[in-house]
Amino acid sequence: MMLSKAIASFLKQLAEVRMASPHTVSNYKRDLRRFQDQHDVNMMLGDVSRIAVQNWIVGGHAQGLSASTLARRLSALRSLFDFCVQAQWCEKNVAAGVQAPKQKKRLPRALPPEQTVKLMSPTQAVSDLRDAALLAVMYGCGLRVSEAVGLDVIDVDIRSSELRILGKGRKERIVPIPEGGLVLLNKYLKSKPVSSGVVFINKNGGRLTTRSVQRMLKKRALETGADVSVTPHRLRHSFATHLLTGGVDLRAIQELLGHSSLATTERYTDLDINRLTEVYDQSHPRARKKA
């Protein structure tokens, strides 16, 4: 089996059977093509060795690629060879024992609650009602920006105050809509200028893109005096952090965010402890040593 054919079959299975997101498929395709380009175009699957995989990762590290990029490259190769072993095209996963450089643990940055209030302030934009409803849903329900723009009218249950979300890996979850978000969303849906099955539409009646939401958020932050470093993902982090600070159980937050692993959600406990430590250091009389 040629490596190129194995890659093509794997990517097809990733998209059509495993229902991976287009973003994941695109990244894996780019990584695997780059690995292939480093070797003979007609390279056979059985000719790929662990040394070849190691050299590719080490070479990327020498080029200054980030640890997260190298980890993704290694993940793509491991997934490819897992697929090939199951298909009996090779005997073992040559990438299984290769280690990627350790990634620095980055804590998410949350917006202070008063900043989210500023973002919801009225603006002069023609699309103000739509934008306010979108932000209320993204922050109030902890949605990824792709999940928010992917919402269809059929996914909204106003009577039950719930949204049906299709997350990563086509995993479905139900999330409650907070009262303020429900009022704005209902008002927007009733006043939508175009009859469409899509919830959040652009001026032409089509579905909003993630890029247009990012631009809208920056512009709205400037107009309302909110933190201009805000991003859609930072709103999601803020949702989780504010719930944790309010005493919500970590398992419940995991379900609301749609995390498949609790370890991903547990990053927020580190963030909250760091914040508590900061407050302690600033205010407790015993926190600072005497000069």
Supply the pLDDT for residue 290: 44
Q: Where is pLDDT greater, at 131 or 284? A: 131
Of 140, 128, 131, give the one whose Cα is nearest residue 165. 140
Report, as an integer, the average pLDDT of 162-171: 88
pLDDT at 100 > cutoff 50: yes
Confidence bin at 101 (pLDDT 50/70/90) = confident
> Quick one: pLDDT band at residue 291, thresholds 50, 70, 90?
very low
In the chain, what are the domains?
3-86 (1.10.150), 113-280 (1.10.443.10)
Which of 58-62, 120-124, 234-238, 244-248 shows the lowest mean pLDDT across its residues?
Answer: 244-248
Higher pLDDT, 290 or 92: 92
Token pair listed for 205: 């009646």
Specify the pLDDT at position 278.
57
The model's pTM is 0.63
- Window from 17-26, 162-171, 208-217, 278-287 with minimum mean pLDDT: 278-287
- The C-alpha atoms of residue 4 and residue 33 are separated, in whole angstroms, by 8
pLDDT value of position 105: 61
The CA–CA distances, whole Å, from 188 to 173, 192, 200 equal 23, 6, 9
Of 139, 141, 135, 151, the C-alpha closest to 175 is 141
* pLDDT of 29 strictly over 90: yes
- 286: confidence class by pLDDT, cuts 50, 70, 90: low
Write down the pLDDT at residue 273: 56
Q: Quickly tell me which residue has 């302690």 as its tokens.
A: 280
Per-residue pLDDT band for 108 (boundaries 50, 70, 90) equals low
Place 12 in a pLDDT band, splitting at 50, 70 and 90: very high
Asked if residues 25 and 14 have their Cβ atoms less than 8 Å apart, the reply is yes
Q: What percent of the chain has a predicted confidence (pLDDT) above 90?
A: 54
As a residue count, the chain comes to 291
Instruction: Quick: pLDDT tens for 219-245.
Output: 999 999 998 889 999 999 899 888 888
| Rounded Cα gap, residues 121 and 206, in angstroms | 26
Residues annotated catalytic, as ranges: 144, 168, 233, 236, 259, 268
Q: Residue 204 and residue 101: Cα distance in Å, rounded?
A: 46
**Cβ count within 10 A of residue 243:** 18
Structure tokens at 220: 């709205």
**What is the average pLDDT value for the chain, to the nearest integer?**
87
Between CA 250 and CA 166 the distance in angstroms is 21
Give the model's pLDDT for residue 152: 95
